[in-house]
Amino acid sequence: MAGIGEHQQELQKTFMQLEMGKKQLEELVRQAHFMEQAVVEKDSTIAALRALEDAGEENEILVPLGSDSFIKARILNKDEILVGVGGGVSLEKKRLDALKTLEARRDDLRKKRDEVAKSAQTLGAQVEQLNLFAEAKVRELQKHDH
């Protein structure tokens, strides 16, 4: 039979693992949320590019400036789109190619988000098991104290 000191050490180790697991879980949830926001942004951009198909040249549009502020502008060429490729660099692409690029990025983000969510679910189950184990150890120590 293990001594009370050994139970306390095991309980302390379990609490440390539990805290680490909770922090990792919080980070995974944060990452999944960030990825979901990026997916929503890509969907919005894709919808805007598709809406351009029906817009005529020289149509007036509202261009967002940020903080719910917009400026009126005219479409000069709806078929040439500047697409960011990272590092502050943008490339000019045909509208349909830009759509394909953004859809591929969105699909990749969805896949990664789903992988992160699955990892979070697995880790969440492990944290719950550790929590149950810790509770059992606490009850066991309390029995020894009485």
pTM listed for this prediction: 0.78
CA atoms within 13 A on the CB side of 11: 16
- Structure confidence by residue, pLDDT tens digits, 56-70: 777 888 888 999 999
- Structure confidence by residue, pLDDT tens digits, 123-142: 999 999 999 988 988 888 78
| Predicted confidence (pLDDT) at residue 2 exceeds the cutoff of 60 | no
CATH of region 26-141, choose from 1.10.1040.10, 1.10.287.370, 1.20.59.10, 1.10.540.10: 1.10.287.370
Structure tokens at 62: 């509202």
Mean of pLDDT over the chain: 91
pLDDT for the residue numbered 4: 67
Per-residue buried b or exposed e for 114-125, using 16+ beta carbons within 10 Å of the residue's own CB: eebbeebeebee
